[in-house]
Every structure is written in C-alpha cells, then in structure tokens.
Amino acid sequence: METIHQYFDLNYVIRSLPDFQIGLIWTLETGAVALVLAFVWGLALVALIMPRFWWLRGPARVYIEISRNTPLLLQIFVLYFGLPLIGLVWSAFICGVLAIAGQHGCYLADVFRGTIESISNTQREAAKALGMSRFSVMRLVILPQAILKVLPPLGNQVVLLIKDTSLVSAIGVTELTLVGKQLVEQSATTIEVFVVIALIFLVITTCAGLLMRFIEMHYRVRF
Amino acid sequence: MFDVLYSSFPYLMKGAVYTAWMSVVTIIAGSLLGVILGIFVIYGPTALRRIITGYVFVIRGIPILVLMFLTYYALPALGVNIGDYVTVCGALVIYCGAYVTEITRGAILAVPRTQFDAAKGVGMRLSQYLRLVIFPQAARMSIPPMLNNCIMMVKSTAYVSIVGVWELSYAAREVAERTLSPFQVFFGAMIIYFAICYPMAIVAQRLEKKTAYSH
C-alpha cells in the first residue's frame, strides 16, 4: 500500500482542483467555439467545391488538400506568429480556435461532399418528376437521408476535434494540457496530474460520442 | 522574398530527416502492434478481447499530446530512462496501435460471413480459412484507411515538439523566432510535411474510388 502511495498521491491533484477547473473551462470553450466554426466553414467549403461555382473549385480544392495534409500545430503557429505581422493582433485563444476550425472545416467539407454524392441522382430526378420544387426536394428528400448518413462520420470528427483542442496549449492557452504541464513543473508529482487529465479527456470525448450516437438514434426513429 | 526560407531550408531538412525517421519507425511498429491486436480482438480468448477493447477505447479517447506528456513525465519517475526520442516514439506507437486495431477489426468483419460457411463447406481448417480467405481480402480493404492512418501519424509527429523533442516543427519554430519571418519558415515546413503526406493521400483516394466502384 505504501509503495502505491509513493507513486500515486492524489493530494496534490485535489489541492489544485481550481486550476483544473480553469483548464476544463478553456478546453470546453475552445472545443465548443471551434466546433461551431468548423461546421459553418465545412458547409461553406462544400458549397464551393460543388459544380455550381466551377471557377472556385480549383482554389478551394488546393486549400483543402494543403490544410488536410499538414500538421494542425503548424497551422496554429502560422496564425499565431504570422497574423501580428499583417497587423492583426488577436489573442492566442482566437488564433487557436480559428486554426482548429480551419482544418476541421476541411475534414467536414469532405464528409459532407461524400454524403451528398452518396445519395443517388435518381432520387433527385424522381422528386422533380413528382413536381417538387428545388427547395422541397432538398428539404423532404435529400436532407433527411443526408442527416442520417452524415451523423456517424460527424460524430467521429467531433471527437477528433475535441482531442485537437489540446494543441492550443502550444501557444499558451491555459487549457487542461497546459495546466497539467504547469502543475507538473511546479511540483514533484509526475504521474497523477496527467492520469487525471487523461481521464477528464476520456470522459469528455465519451460523452460527446454518446451524445452524437443519441442524436443518430433520434433521427433513425423519426425517419 | 523567400531569402530566409532559402537560407534556413538546410536546417529544416535536417529536422525533416528526424520527422521521417520517427514516422517510419512508429508507423511500422504501431501497425504491426495494431494488426496483431486486431486479429486477437476477433479470434482471441474473451479476457484478452476485453483488455484490447479497453485499450482501444482509452487511447482513442485521449489526445496524443496528453499521452506523450504522460509517458514523458511518468517513465523517468518510474525509473525507466530510455531517452526523449524513444519515450515519445513509444507514445506514438501506442496511439497508432489503437487506431490500426480498429482498422484491422473493421476489415476482418467486413468479409461476408457466407465465406466462412463456404470455407467450412470445402473442409478448410480455421488457420487455412484465415490465411487463404480472410487475410487477402481484409488486407486489400484496409489499405486506404491504413494510408490515412499513416498521414495522421506523420502529422502527429509534429506534436512531439510541444513536449520539447527536436524535429521539423521544433526546428521551424526555432528559425521563425530567430528570423522573425514566421510565414516563410512555417510555409517551408508545411511544404515538407505536405510533400510527405500528399502522395499517400492521392493513393488512398484512388484506391477508395476503385473499391467504391467495384461494389
């Protein structure tokens, strides 16, 4: 028993609970804001790569491929260290959120595109043949199927996005990971802090995953 | 205009060699670990299956950065001194293994059950069935997700710079802070990452389209 206490002592963690609280709030805030922005950005991008705006398609595709195939950390650095040079001095939080939303918007755009393309064109034609307007084809035929198909990959992306919020610690946003690093550096404890942080992240991502699953069930029953 | 990038490019390439090495080692080790665990999670004994499922659930639920910090701080405290690079690579291998386990499991389960009945019908043993029927098909199906996983791993090696291990991202940050021209330097580093990842992305997309048409 004593040896366990020697290695694993939660007293320090309990004493620094207020710090954890700050970190948790920043993590959730980063995740929530980035998620909403990523969703909007993804919808905007998928509109751009659809055949209608053929002249924007090339540039949008190039942007998406570059964003998807380079580390998010570098994109965060580019915004955080680069934007002040062109006169935009924004806080680390805003830069971090924008970078996360940028990359995950690109992932989501591809998810959305795949979903829309997977709904066969014959459905659109059949609905048109019934005399439906463009709007009601979208509302009554395409969207209900699209929502059902998009929810599982969307849930995946939500979990990945929440995990990526830990990267904003690199530019000094005091979310959980940075709080953990500071706590470890201030004390002699080594293991406990990050075990607790890992558990907190596990709870957050599991809850997010379950919530997405719940929404999916909800829609499956309705349609 | 690109003079800083031009003069610092050799330094960045030195970092890129570290990144490439780390990527190759962790992808090979992690994929091997994942494939083995993925086979055991389907055909192994129940207790082992539960342990592997738990491992996959936990690792996929926490950020790679937290896992790196955990190993980085915990191992020396437990008396294991294996150096920075081995420690973070270990974290990357554990992370990669969890994702590959899921890919392998999915690929094996995607082979229709009727083939099992057919194999039994012609008198195959389980080992023959696995070797001759399951693995060739599962391997072909899992190539695109495996490539996507490789891309994710290459990008994840950048995160070891936050822990304080020197590679391409760390080098880029050093140069950017010294020269005060972050756009050029990070742009250069991103080009290098892009050059590593994009070929894999193209192959993955091609193969995905191919399998999509064959159905």
Pick the CATH number of A2-222 from 3.30.70.120, 3.40.50.720, 1.10.3720.10, 2.60.120.380: 1.10.3720.10
Task: Say what the pLDDT of residue B213 is.
Answer: 53
Give me the interface pTM, i.e. the ipTM.
Answer: 0.90
C-alpha–C-alpha distance, residues B27 and B92, integer Å: 8
> Contacts of residue A71 in chain B, CB cutoff 8 Å?
155-156, 158-159, 169, 193
B74: nearest CB among A77, A170, A191? A191
Q: What is the mean pLDDT of residues B150-179?
A: 93
The answer to whether A164 and A184 have CB atoms below 8 angstroms apart is: no
Predicted confidence (pLDDT) at residue A60 exceeds the cutoff of 70:
yes
Range 178-197 of A in CB contact (< 8 A) with B: 180-181, 184, 190-191, 193-195, 197
Sign of the CA dihedral A110, B103, A151, A38? Answer: negative
B198: nearest CB among A65, A169, A205? A65
The model's pTM: 0.90
Measure in Å the smallest separation between the Cα of B110 and chain A Cα atoms.
17
What's the pLDDT tens digit per position in A141-195? 888 888 888 999 999 999 999 999 999 999 999 999 999 999 998 887 778 899 9
Q: Which domains does chain B have, with CATH numbers?
A: 3-214 (1.10.3720.10)
Task: Say what the pLDDT of residue A3 is.
Answer: 56
Rounded to the nearest 10°, the torsion over CA A130, A133, A135, A136 is: -30
CB contact under 8 A, A71 and B201: no
The amino acid at residue A47 is: A
Q: Where are the domains of chain A?
A: 2-222
What is the rounded average pLDDT for all residues in chain A? 88
C-alpha–C-alpha distance, residues B12 and B9, integer Å: 5
C-alpha–C-alpha distance, residues B110 and B89, integer Å: 31
> Contacts of residue B61 in chain A, CB cutoff 8 Å?
159, 201-202, 205-206
CB contact under 8 A, A74 and B61: no
Range 146-185 of B in CB contact (< 8 A) with A: 151, 155-156, 158-159, 161-162, 169, 172-173, 176, 182-183
A89 phi-psi bin (left φ>0, alpha ψ -120 to 50, beta other): beta
